[in-house]
A and B are shown apart, each in its own frame.
Chain A
Amino acid sequence: MTPRKSAKTTAAPVEREHGLHLLRSMVRIRRFEDKCAELYTATKIRGFLHLYDGEEAVAVGVLEALTADDAVVATYREHGHALVRGVAAGAILAEMYGRQEGCSRGRGGSMHLFDARTRFYGGNAIVGGGLPLAVGLALADTMQQKRRVTCCFFGDGAVAEGEFHESLNLAALWRLPVLFVCENNLYAMGTALRYAQAATDLAARAASYGMAAAAVDGMDVLAVEAAAHQAAAAIRAGEGPQFLECRTYRFRAHSMYDAELYRTRAEVEQWKQRCPIASFTERLRGAGLVSDGDLEAIEAEVAREINEAVAFAEAGSLEPVEDLTRFVYSERRLP
């Protein structure tokens, strides 16, 4: 698919309310991540923190194609996916504060957000580790005749892992309802794709397993959304797993420890010119779909949500140390 660059169109690219919804979702992620960075600097958040700035269009566009029954398996850079999926911002932030009101009771932190209610299966910090899990969730659905999709996010780094290849083969072999979403941000931590892979066309490699695979401009939320809808529809029609490579870029460092020695500022600035939020805003503006008032309203609404989330996390409580060894084994028998 070709990136859509022109903002000077008069034809409406999207229905107004939906456009505002997509924009709001991306802004929520961006402002949330900005707040996380600030709270990390203020030492409210510790450990590893991986921010999603620049990649918002991927989570927002893809998750539009899912229903509440579907499952999501994500990576350690998953705040945005959790937010869009419907995990409360306060519960996510409280998790990073290590509070028991967090979505994983403070046992997981930034990299391990979980939420049973929204079928959000983490939050996996082993690169490639989520793919077999997604295959299994889809296998369970197939064996139980549940018509659901399991959506599995991973980065370009995961393509080098054996688990990637084992999982794609299994999903294709058994025709399982998995939507594989590769967030190709060009770097596996600090190693560029071209230094890690002999063949860098990732969609082509997925296609070699016998599944439909497409690459899409991951900086264009409408393109991502359209591709995800198409892939999800094919899965729901029983056509087996689908692979979507979203070509995107991470604006911030890999984590808060990263000195970014492996890429130039010029490269980062160049990609920032393609900011998914700014470019989509311009498109909506160009089509006369949003006003300054709309944008201000979105910013105000998001700021309020984030302020409330911070207050929720700040007010959170610490789990008693006596409970340290809970959740190693289940406290209940199975039905």
Chain B
Amino acid sequence: MTTTAGTMRKLTYREAVREAIREAMHKDERVFLMGEDVGRYGGCFAVSKGLLEEFGPERIRDTPLAESGFTGAGIGAALGGMRPIVEIMTGNFSLLAADQIINTAAVLLHMSGGQFNVPVVIRLATGGGRQVAAQHSRSLEGWFAHIPGIKVLAPATVNDARGMLWTALEDPDPVLIFENSNLYNMEGPLAVEAGAVDIDRARVRRDGRDITIISYGASLFKALEAAEILAKDGIEVEVVDLRTLRPLDEATFLASVARTHRALVVDEGWRSGSLAAEISARIMEGAFYDLDAPVARLCTAEVPLPYAKHLEEAALPQVAGIVALVKKMVGGHG
């Protein structure tokens, strides 16, 4: 990405999310933030730091450790005319709120025959790689993407972290935003005039002719880094950032695969029953005759993420693994 002096600025992913929340709260008085430690603590990942002082405890609302209770309360508040942003500290804890997300938010519109939509936004930190072991390292976004009735977003760039929230708040239905916690410290460029962005299309982040890597979230940057390395060997990788995991923008990745004839899916979820499996199936259904090689997947090893650094690194998709796999897929045809 290039920056033009004067029109671009640099900020972290964390600051981008914070700015997005702040702007939404200024724009619409129905918006409020609710979750564990979002106020006085400043947010577990410091995303909401300073917002309590700016907006007060009514709108930056600390909750008890009651994920089902406060997530359900967010759903109810949305039904009651508010535009809540519910922060579930990490996606792992969303399992304690899964009843409300899946059994209530996702089905209320349908069960009521279209009478009651639920305009709630739920933000969750996701991902492994921080040596916090099995209970704090899950990537459950693909799992939620299985559920009709909710939308699932995975902003990877600072621009998406800044721009997806407002569009999600304007959406009439429940939207889950998975923010990979490894990205909060990442700095990126943002246009001074940056505003809301769409939440229904994938993006080609790098053009290439030899193979398409389909990814999202923190893995996107591993794919881009691998593409950079592979370019030195003359392999041109196209990288697609899914951005939205439900509904999937298959048109974008199918068009890319139709150009490159090879596809690799990089997904921090486990391979069995994964989002990567879904994408692979869509490619079989929609681009089979364009393929020069079987679709490949690089996912997290089928193991709860271990604490030990070397084992955790071995479990997660890594740049070196992507490079090796792409070379194997392209080898002899490049």
| Other-chain residue from A122, A143, A173, A331 in contact with B108 (beta carbon distance below 8 A) | A122
Q: B252 at the A/B interface (Cβ < 8 Å)?
A: no
Contact status of A126 and B113, CB under 8 A, knowing A137-B80, A140-B80, A140-B81 = no
A280 to B290, CA, bound (A): 77
A122 to B84, CA, bound (A): 21
Quick check: A334 and B115 within 8 Å, CB to CB? no
Quick check: A137 and B173 within 8 Å, CB to CB? no
| Other-chain residue from A106, A121, A169 in contact with B113 (beta carbon distance below 8 A) | A106
Contact status of A122 and B76, CB under 8 A, knowing A170-B66, A334-B172 = no
Q: Which residues of chain B are near A311, meaning CB under 8 Å?
A: none
Contact status of A163 and B113, CB under 8 A, knowing A136-B79, A137-B77 = no
A window 313-333: CB within 8 A of B: 326-333
Most interface-central of A71, A100, A107 (chain B CB within 10 A): A107
Q: B190 at the A/B interface (Cβ < 8 Å)?
A: no
Q: Which residues of chain B are near A108, meaning CB under 8 Å?
A: 111-113
Q: A303 at the A/B interface (Cβ < 8 Å)?
A: no
Q: Which residues of chain B are near A173, meaning CB under 8 Å?
A: 64
Q: Which residues of chain B are near A102, meaning CB under 8 Å?
A: 113
B window 10-63: CB within 8 A of A: 30, 32, 58, 63
Q: Which residues of chain A are near B111, meaning CB under 8 Å?
A: 104, 107-108, 112, 114, 122-123
Residue of B nearest to A140 (CB): B80
Q: B187 at the A/B interface (Cβ < 8 Å)?
A: no
B window 110-163: CB within 8 A of A: 110-117, 119, 148-149, 151
| Other-chain residue from B74, B81, B99, B172 in contact with A126 (beta carbon distance below 8 A) | B99
Quick check: B72 and A131 within 8 Å, CB to CB? yes
Contact status of A121 and B69, CB under 8 A, knowing A133-B104, A136-B79, A140-B77 = no
Quick check: B76 and A137 within 8 Å, CB to CB? yes
Quick check: A139 and B99 within 8 Å, CB to CB? no
Q: A162 at the A/B interface (Cβ < 8 Å)?
A: yes
Q: B30 → chain A, closest Cβ, in Å?
A: 8
Quick check: B114 and A132 within 8 Å, CB to CB? no
Q: A103 at the A/B interface (Cβ < 8 Å)?
A: yes
Q: B118 → chain A, closest Cβ, in Å?
A: 9
Contact status of A143 and B32, CB under 8 A, knowing A132-B73, A135-B72, A137-B79 = yes
Q: Which residues of chain A are near B64, meaning CB under 8 Å?
A: 166, 169-170, 173
A122 to B334, CA, bound (A): 60
Quick check: B113 and A104 within 8 Å, CB to CB? yes
Q: A167 at the A/B interface (Cβ < 8 Å)?
A: yes
| Other-chain residue from A71, A115, A144, A330 in contact with B82 (beta carbon distance below 8 A) | A144
Quick check: B116 and A121 within 8 Å, CB to CB? yes
Q: B109 at the A/B interface (Cβ < 8 Å)?
A: yes
The contact string, 1 if C-beta is below 8 Å from chain B, for chain A 97-117, is 000101111111000101110
| Other-chain residue from A115, A136, A140, A333 in contact with B172 (beta carbon distance below 8 A) | A333
Quick check: A116 and B116 within 8 Å, CB to CB? yes
Q: B71 at the A/B interface (Cβ < 8 Å)?
A: yes
Q: A89 at the A/B interface (Cβ < 8 Å)?
A: no
A108 to B70, CA, bound (A): 25
Q: Which residues of chain A are near B117, meaning CB under 8 Å?
A: 330
Q: Which residues of chain B are near A282, meaning CB under 8 Å?
A: none
Q: B166 → chain A, closest Cβ, in Å?
A: 12
Contact status of A116 and B72, CB under 8 A, knowing A140-B79, A333-B172 = no
Q: A299 at the A/B interface (Cβ < 8 Å)?
A: no
Most interface-central of B58, B82, B109, B111 (chain A CB within 10 A): B111
| Other-chain residue from B32, B78, B108, B114 in contact with A105 (beta carbon distance below 8 A) | B114
Residue of B nearest to A114 (CB): B112
A162 to B116, CA, bound (A): 25
Contact status of A134 and B76, CB under 8 A, knowing A112-B111, A122-B112, A333-B170 = yes
Q: Which residues of chain B are near A107, meaning CB under 8 Å?
A: 110-113
Q: Which residues of chain B are near A115, meaning CB under 8 Å?
A: 115
Q: B90 at the A/B interface (Cβ < 8 Å)?
A: no
Q: A129 at the A/B interface (Cβ < 8 Å)?
A: yes
Q: Which residues of chain A are near B32, meaning CB under 8 Å?
A: 143
Offer 29 A-B interface pairs, CB within 8 angstroms, sorted by A: A102-B113, A107-B113, A108-B111, A114-B111, A116-B112, A124-B104, A132-B68, A132-B69, A132-B70, A133-B73, A133-B76, A135-B76, A136-B73, A136-B75, A136-B77, A136-B84, A139-B80, A140-B77, A140-B79, A143-B82, A144-B81, A166-B70, A167-B72, A170-B69, A327-B109, A328-B110, A329-B173, A332-B172, A333-B172
Taking Cβ atoms with an 8 Å cutoff, the residues of B that contact A are: 30, 32, 58, 63-64, 66, 68-82, 84, 99-100, 103-104, 108-117, 119, 148-149, 151, 170-173
For the complex of A and B, the 3 pairs showing the least CB-CB separation, nearest first, are A136-B76, A132-B72, A140-B80
